């Protein structure tokens, strides 16, 4: 399976739907403007590498538990474990 930013957006969208959170709240947590949030979730704007790192480093940003998104959850676990090891 190909891993790219559009798949991460899909994983976030499904995670948000499972948690019944508005997409605007997720955008605010990431420091995005309303327009950027709308453009990213509509597919008009791609995620930057910094956006991907911020999403995967923040355990409060929901990512769906579906099997096809498992690689994002593993990356998140590794990032969080690495951050704890440096404290």
Hey, what domains does the chain have and what are their CATH numbers? 5-85 (1.10.260)
| Cα 10 from Cα 48, distance rounded (Å) | 15
Closest residue by Cα to residue 25 from 41, 44, 10: 41
pLDDT at res. 87: 60
Cβ distance 66 to 87 under 8 Å?
Answer: no
Measured between its terminal Cα atoms, the distance across the chain in Å is 34
Q: What is the pLDDT of residues 9-60, one digit of tens each?
A: 999 999 888 888 899 999 999 999 999 999 999 999 999 999 999 999 999 9
Please identify which residue in the block is written with the tokens 């309303």: 34
Q: What is the pLDDT of residues 56-84, one digit of tens each?
A: 999 999 998 898 899 999 999 999 998 77
Closest residue by Cα to residue 7 from 74, 78, 49, 63: 63
Distances (CA, A) of 41 to 6, 27, 36, 55, 67: 9, 10, 8, 13, 21
pLDDT-derived band at 5 (thresholds 50, 70, 90) equals confident
């Amino acid at each position: 399976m190909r891993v790219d930013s559009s798949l991460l957006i899909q994983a976030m969208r499904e995670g948000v739907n499972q948690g019944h959170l508005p997409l605007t709240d997720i955008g605010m947590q990431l420091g995005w403007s309303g327009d950027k949030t709308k453009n990213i979730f509509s597919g008009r704007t791609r995620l930057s590498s910094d956006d991907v790192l911020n999403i995967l480093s923040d355990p409060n940003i929901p990512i769906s538990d579906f099997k096809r998104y498992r690689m994002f959850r593993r990356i998140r676990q590794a990032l969080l474990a690495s951050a704890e090891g440096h404290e």
